[in-house]
């Protein structure tokens, strides 16, 4: 029986391709985190204190997304949107699916944090003369994010790793590039060992970024935040 020995030297020729795929994975993840959080903040407000009809809309959206596989959502956008005359590239389709998915999960996480803030604190803030923006930012949103930041950061990591499913629609992220290299060279083990290491580096880098963001924007006390405003 022919036994193939492991060799990583040949991968140096394909390493630039892997780096390009890794960079796209990072960009997709960062964009999805920012846009998904914006949707989640609106959704959390709608479900906790917004208009009833908007809360119902977000409630249906959250239930549909949280109870269907991400791969199915990805296929829905990739194959469904063209039937409506909307044509997106595989990369943009992947980004849309990631934003929609993260928005639903993060909505529930942030809503739980918002509802943990005592209502009396918002009334006290209004009585002290804070405007609506200051009340929401200083008394509701920031304290809520302080409470739920660990699970929220965990959800960010999950969407980063979930970006690998975009390989199913040929978006040129890291896993898709790895599949192409492995198919062309029949060196599956070597490729995926290197890709595993790259994913680990990206995840740990994101964790450091999340910790830095927490220390910069959420770890400060209320008086310090008021001084910024």
Domain boundaries, the chain: 19-228
C-beta neighbour count of 221 within 10 angstroms: 8
Q: State residue 36's pLDDT score.
A: 97
What are 34-45's pLDDT values in tens digits?
999 999 999 998
Average predicted confidence (pLDDT) for the chain: 88
Instruction: Give residue 114's pLDDT band: very low, low, confident or very high (50, 70, 90).
Output: confident
Q: Which pTM value belongs to this model? A: 0.89
CB 179 within 8 A of CB 187: no
- CATH placement of domain 19-228: 1.10.3720.10
d(CA 36, CA 61): 13
Average pLDDT for 117-137: 75
What are 69-79's pLDDT values in tens digits?
999 999 999 99
What are 150-203's pLDDT values in tens digits?
999 999 999 999 999 999 999 999 999 999 988 887 778 888 999 999 999 999
């Amino acid at each position: 029986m022919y036994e193939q020995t492991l060799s990583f030297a040949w991968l140096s020729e394909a390493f630039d391709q892997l780096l390009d795929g890794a960079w796209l994975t990072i960009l997709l993840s960062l964009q999805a985190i920012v846009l998904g959080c914006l949707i989640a903040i609106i959704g959390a407000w709608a479900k906790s204190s917004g208009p009833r009809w908007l809360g119902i809309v977000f409630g249906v959206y959250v239930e549909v997304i949280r109870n269907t596989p991400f791969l199915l959502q990805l296929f829905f956008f990739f194959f469904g949107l063209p039937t409506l005359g909307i044509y997106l590239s595989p990369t943009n389709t992947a980004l849309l699916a990631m934003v929609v998915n993260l928005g639903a999960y993060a909505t529930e996480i942030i809503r739980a944090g918002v509802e943990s803030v005592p209502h009396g604190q918002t009334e006290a803030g209004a009585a002290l003369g804070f405007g609506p923006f200051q009340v929401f930012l200083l008394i509701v949103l920031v304290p809520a994010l302080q409470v739920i930041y660990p699970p929220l950061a965990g959800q960010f990591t999950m969407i980063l790793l979930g970006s690998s499913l975009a390989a199913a629609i040929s978006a040129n992220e890291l896993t898709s590039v790895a599949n192409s290299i492995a198919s062309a060279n029949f060196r599956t083990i070597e490729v995926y060992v290197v890709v595993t290491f790259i994913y680990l580096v990206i995840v740990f880098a994101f964790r450091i970024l999340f910790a830095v963001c927490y220390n910069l924007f959420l770890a400060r006390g209320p008086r310090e935040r008021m001084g910024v405003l």
